Amino acid sequence: MAEDSGTAGPGEAMPDLASLPGGAKAALEAVLMVIDEPATDVELGEALGLSPVRVRMLLRELQDEYDGRRTQVPRGFELRSIAGGWRIFSRSEFAPVVSRFVREGQTARLTQAALETLAVIAYRQPVARARISAIRGVNVDSVVRTLLQRGLIAEAGTHPETGAVLYRTTAYFLERLGIGNLSELPELAPHLPGLEHLGDFDDLVP
């Protein structure tokens, strides 16, 4: 998770957190705000160059701020620890509003990008995200998340060598597509000229 992706990010060198506006606490907040999987104090500390003790202290400060311990005005989100990992969630008091937004605001149709990604997974399963990205030529992280959320795909263990999470389609997917099992997926070949190059994509995947 915390491993580097090879695509040189903007500046690999560790910045001096204290010199940044908001300091180490804001840096911690920046990470917590965008991670999907909860991160432990150890992981957070490593990324920030801080001890887990210091991280826990900052986490508690953030919790107090979000809960409005001093101002009496809580924020709409809260910092929760789940099974040792930390992540920001919407505050539980607002569940009715969030529910309403989810129920009515979300489109009930898959985007073209989601459909294409699902198609790649269906015909190449079990397959890692990096491989799907390489085949589609775009980042598919958020689309994969949508498909997982929709129950159309599920995790299927990890790649024996790279350790990357693999994905497969679900029974619900078969049901929606209206087929009994994967062997009923129509042949791909007639649509695919030059299949021989497909292997090329494997080389692109780390």
Partner 1 sequence: MNGPGPVAEEPLEPAADATARGFEVTLENFTGPFDLLLGLIAKHEMDITEVALAQVTDEFISYIRRLRAQGEDWALDEASEFLVIAATLLDLKAAKLLPSGEVENEEDVALLEARDLLFARLLQYKAFKGIAAMMGSRLAGEAARFPRQVSLEPQFAALLPELIWRTSPHAFAALAAKAMEPKPPAPTEVGLAHLHAPKVSVKEQAGILAERLRTGGPQSFAVLTADAEGTLIVVARFLALLELFREAVVAFDQQSPLAELTVRWIGPDSAWSTERLSEEYDEAPAEPAAEPEAEPEESNG
> 59-98: which residues touch its own copies (CB under 8 A)?
68, 73-77, 88-98
Number of residues binding to partner 1, judged by CB under 8 A: 75
Amino acid code (one letter) for 44: L
* Least CB distance to partner 1 at residue 123 (A): 5
Check binding of 187 to its own copies (CB under 8 A): no
- Residue placing its CB nearer to its own copies in the complex, 143 or 187: 143
Residue 41 near residue 86, CB atoms below 8 Å:
yes
What are the Cα distances from residue 53, in Å, to 20, 44, 80?
A: 21, 11, 17
* Least CB distance to partner 1 at residue 14 (A): 15
Interacting partner of 87 out of its own copies, partner 1, none (Cβ under 5 to 8 A depending on kind) = partner 1
Check binding of 200 to its own copies (CB under 8 A): no
The pair phi, psi for residue 39, each rounded to 5°, is -115, 145
- Residue placing its CB nearer to its own copies in the complex, 25 or 124: 25
Token pair for 50 = 């801080």
What are the Cα distances from residue 111, in Å, to 64, 93, 118?
A: 39, 31, 11
